[in-house]
Structure 1
């Protein structure tokens, strides 16, 4: 703030709390000088949520004591800390082989965020809502987030998934779209090899590469009735 803004702030405080009024001209000048010394680095307002008058009003409503210069300065510092806590440094556009320019851009961005001149970059924050429209359009164009060439390379490592995709591509029923009545595998899960020992306890529960025939019959029946 400059001296005119400090004087305007003091006049605003006088209207809210008459205890701070200075009637003597010399005392008023000293008060302006004191407030300016501590608030010269604090802006009156910013475009991103800071207003010194709101901080003063909140203090007057919450505290029975007259507001001091440090109360405004501490509120401003808390505002800056909160913004930096929510900020994630974006990758600078400067050449990474130039450490000086890289560091200068990082510091300038952080200063702009702390000073209320720019919004914090929270690209790592979990946000609500669906995917970006560009992502939806891209998925609609290619049909899947996994390219076809990558699916072919992954097939030996995912035999059950590969068999399911091949069946659907050939127009056959998707066995995993229904639960298995033989091994009680849930919908979407592969069938299991159930082995029971002589004592009646399970001895094996390994996944099968192919579904049980009864599951295929159930999926075919549901596909025919659809």
Structure 2
């Protein structure tokens, strides 16, 4: 914070706790100098951070008079949490000036990104969570239908041998439309079963059906429409 921001914070603190009022201008100036020195690396506001709110919470909960450390300590805890939640993956496409083959430039950009997060100028980049919000119940329902009794490491090993199930689990985790949640209007494949292709034996002209690796386009469209309808209903009821 700049000295001006610290002075504004002190004025707010004194208004909330009159015990901190100083009638001596010299003492008030000394306190401002002390707070400005100790809070020089603490921003007034940042993503998920507000120094005034932290000071207010301390005054509301603690019987002790607030000190600069009561603001700086929560900031450093917040900063560590932000850096810990940052996935640390710099996205080159967001910076077209960066040469993808420039390793040193990539490292400098990554360091600058982390520094911006550390000083509160940028929010961390985190993985999109699907364990909360309106989509959580739908994801849990679909995963429950698929079954979750198998350890994830075993499922990953068997994914090569069970491509349909592996793809459905991937779609469920990503909260994406799953074509197998609806029946196919083209080949009449029921819900939960893959689409079928027809093959004719040239010798006896007998017809048989074999599972397709990909669903029919009409089934994808129907699943997408049903998925969007469920999402809209969840958002409306939330």
**TM-score, length-scaled by structure 2:** 0.53
Name the structure 2 match of 1:21.
21
Name the structure 2 match of 1:50.
49
**Number of residues of Structure 1 aligned to a counterpart in Structure 2:** 151
Name the structure 1 match of 2:117.
113
Secondary structure in structure 1 of the residue aligned to 2:87: coil
Name the structure 1 match of 2:71.
72
Name the structure 1 match of 2:6.
6
**TM-score, length-scaled by structure 1:** 0.55
- Equivalent positions of 1:1-226 (< 5 A) are 1-46=1-46, 48-93=47-92, 94-95=98-99, 97-123=101-127, 127=131, 129=135, 136=177
Contact 1:13 1:56 in 2 (8 A): yes
Name the structure 2 match of 1:204.
none
Contact 2:196 2:209 in 1 (8 A): no
Contact 1:92 1:106 in 2 (8 A): no
What is the aligned-residue RMSD (CA, Å)? 3.7
Secondary structure in structure 2 of the residue aligned to 1:23: coil
Distance 1:173 1:44, change over 3 A: closer
CA distance in 1, matches of 2:197, 2:23: 89
Secondary structure in structure 2 of the residue aligned to 1:41: coil
Quote the offset at 1:100 in angstroms: 2.3
Greater gyration radius: 1
Contact 1:92 1:105 in 2 (8 A): no
Quote the offset at 1:99 in angstroms: 3.1
CA distance in 1, matches of 2:199, 2:51: 64
